[in-house]
Amino acid sequence: MKELVNLHQKEYSEFKRKKDLAALPYIYECDTGLNRYDPRLALIKMDIPITEARNPVTTTIDVASTDDIVQMLHMCDREIFNGWKQYKGLFHPETIATIRQISEVAVDILKKPDGMIVLSGCGTSGRIAFLIARNFNEVLRNSGREQCFRYLIAGRDKALFTSQEAPEDDPQCGIEMLKEVTAGRNRVLFIGITCGLSAPFVAGQLYYCMENLNIYTPVLLGFNPSNLARNIKIEKWDKTFLQVVRLMENKVAENKAYILNPIVGPEQITGSSRMKSGTATKILLETIFVSCVKAYENIPSNIEAHLKSYQDLCEVVYKETSSISKLVQLAGNSLKAGGTISYIGWDSLGVMGMIDASECPPTYGASLSDIRGFVETGYKLLNNIEGDLSPLGKYYRISIDEFQSDIVPGLKESDLVILLMKDESCTVSDILWKSTCQKACISFYSAEKEDRMDCTVSIDLSNLITEPLGNQHYKSWGQLYKELSTKWILNAVTTGAHILKGKVYQNIMVDLKVSNNKLFFRAVGIIQNFSNLPKEMCQEYLLKSIYMTDDLSDDLKSLQVKDHIVKATTMEKVVPTALVAAILKCKIDDARKLLLQHHVIRTAISDIINNRTV
């Protein structure tokens, strides 16, 4: 292990010298540890979920330059479209056929006065569900039709901004929310989004739909093969997610349900499904519903061409790698200096900023103040179910006016403000320009770079190929392309910034928040990966870190995972502490003291692994 970690730094330097990132050696993860990549392994059947596997492209991302970080992210995002290994991808005929079938069901829903389309998920999946429902309700409203899209997110609207751990793991909560929103409806298309085929909240909803097929047409949207759905018994329920998937497969055979699960490959940062999986979720849902709206309006649609337009967009965005990497560096400098990052956005671009900001605390252990998003007119623009949540506290004050009154007066040189500008009409108060903070913008209009900006990323959507979709398609749906462009750039900014801050070791987020069932077991896997200890022992080290004790009582061991999550959610450095204790087989307090000697968690983990007795 020690030799491999040393090689990790050396091989990156060598391949960087050759300027051949594409040739970076693959590292293959298996039960016995990390081994050199063997091409013969490419077709081996995966025994861990692909969404939780390590992406060989990014194993050296933690020691890469900002230019190379962005290039690695680009290489991985290409996998969304190019497919991964032998699995079916976005352009597979089966995927295209399923998209078309779901779109046809959606058209039928639009024609019925009592019809409804419900999109549901946890965390990022729920936030994407909110975004899509909001956008397509606006399309229906602008054409004078009834708004029939609804979103459900575990934890309700508070979860649009902050992680809400308990509801994500509660299938009954999901069922009750679904029953509540669809009361009185006789025809419902339900799309449950769970990237890893693992969310109990969605599992309960899918099962309820299958029990009531006279009303519901259930769709499972995710990015693992069906056989890799989570097969761990869901607490306070009598099923696993895999069992729900098997029931879904039976209904698919009867043309009463759909499973849409193209494989887009492992995430850039292991398990960070906010990135590729979140992007693919947005792409698939938009493809379904753009096709649906066109069909309803008797406009020909081309599913393959629509998917291809997003592939073209990916290249247009990453053509600006140089300016994106400069923005990543600015963001990294801010976080390393103890500063903050604020996204100021107009229209739905502001929503993209809020979504990206909300993902950082559970992913990187960031504080709620580190990265925040603000939108043009606050909740009036969001049009969320529960309306104005600002009375809940400062982290729910989200309008640009509130940014200018609450945040701008206290901005420091170490802080970074990023403007997400839909066009040249976007303006902010002069007080921001007088601030000493760093300033950057992402824009989609042709204009000379603003002299007052420290960095400008300008995306020229006119570079998109117009055929065979035609100019009218891009005129009607151009905002969707701006949103996805913004998502790619902001994901790069926050991923790169946290890498520079030292929150990632190799391509693993070692300081994640243990805030739900999925992250609890991911944390156990991280500890096992680097300590080579049995899974049961790794889970004990995690519990010792959560409860800050070396002697776990039988009462603590007998608690359910959800109880451990409630305790862990508010704590810092739970996983790094457990990891150090497991590697060195030391006491929890000693592990904490070792971490305090290092300002950067990545450096602490690297030094401890390198210097331990092998």
Domain of 345, CATH number, reads 3.40.50.12620
| 587 domain residue, yes or no | yes
Return left, alpha or beta for 26; rule: phi > 0 is left, psi -120 to 50 is alpha, else beta. beta
Pair 142, 199 in one domain: yes
**Residue that terminates a domain, selected from 418, 442, 458:** 458
**Residue 563 belongs to domain spanning:** 510-611
Pair 109, 234 in one domain: yes
| 234 domain residue, yes or no | yes
Positions of the chain with pLDDT under 70: 1-46, 165, 446-450, 612-614
Position 7 scores a pLDDT of 43
CA 596 vs CA 52, 136, 562: distances in Å: 29, 49, 29
CB atoms within 10 A of CB 301: 18
Pair 176, 249 in one domain: yes
Pair 161, 254 in one domain: yes
Q: Which tokens go with 8?
A: 């990790």
Candidates 77, 73, 194, 196; CA nearest to 507 is 73
pTM of the model: 0.89
| 269 domain residue, yes or no | no
| 282 domain residue, yes or no | no
**Residue that terminates a domain, selected from 23, 46, 62:** 62
Position 446 scores a pLDDT of 63
Pair 109, 55 in one domain: no
Pair 115, 37 in one domain: no
Candidates 496, 504, 494; CA nearest to 604 is 504
Pair 197, 137 in one domain: yes
Strands (E), 340-399: 341-345, 371-375
Q: Give φ, ψ of 443 to 5 degrees.
A: -130, 160
Q: Which tokens go with 402?
A: 């509130």
**Residue that terminates a domain, selected from 62, 84, 114:** 62
Position 57 scores a pLDDT of 96
| 533 domain residue, yes or no | yes
| 256 domain residue, yes or no | yes
Rounded to an integer, what distance in angstroms lies between the CA atom of residue 53 and that of residue 115? 39
Pair 518, 383 in one domain: no
Question: Residue 97 sits in a domain of what CATH number?
Answer: 3.40.50.10490
Rounded to an integer, what distance in angstroms lies between the CA atom of residue 527 and that of residue 534? 10
Structurally, how many domains does the chain consist of? 4
Candidates 118, 110, 127; CA nearest to 182 is 118
Pair 108, 248 in one domain: yes
Position 13 scores a pLDDT of 53
Position 12 scores a pLDDT of 47
Question: Residue 556 sits in a domain of what CATH number?
Answer: 1.10.8.1080
Paired residues of 134 in beta bridges: none
Q: Is the peptide bond before 576 cis (omega within 30 degrees of 0)?
A: no
Return left, alpha or beta for 417; rule: phi > 0 is left, psi -120 to 50 is alpha, else beta. beta
Position 434 scores a pLDDT of 87
| 113 domain residue, yes or no | yes
| 579 domain residue, yes or no | yes
Query: 3-state secondary structure string, 82-143?
Result: HCCCCCCCCCCHHHHHHHHHHHHHHHHHHCCCCEEEEEEECCHHHHHHHHHHHHHHHHHHHC
Pair 55, 99 in one domain: no
Pair 39, 165 in one domain: no
Position 463 scores a pLDDT of 81
Pair 105, 198 in one domain: yes
Position 336 scores a pLDDT of 94
Query: 3-state secondary structure string, 211-252?
Result: HCCCCEEEEEECCCCHHHCCCCCCCCCCCCHHHHHHHHHHHH
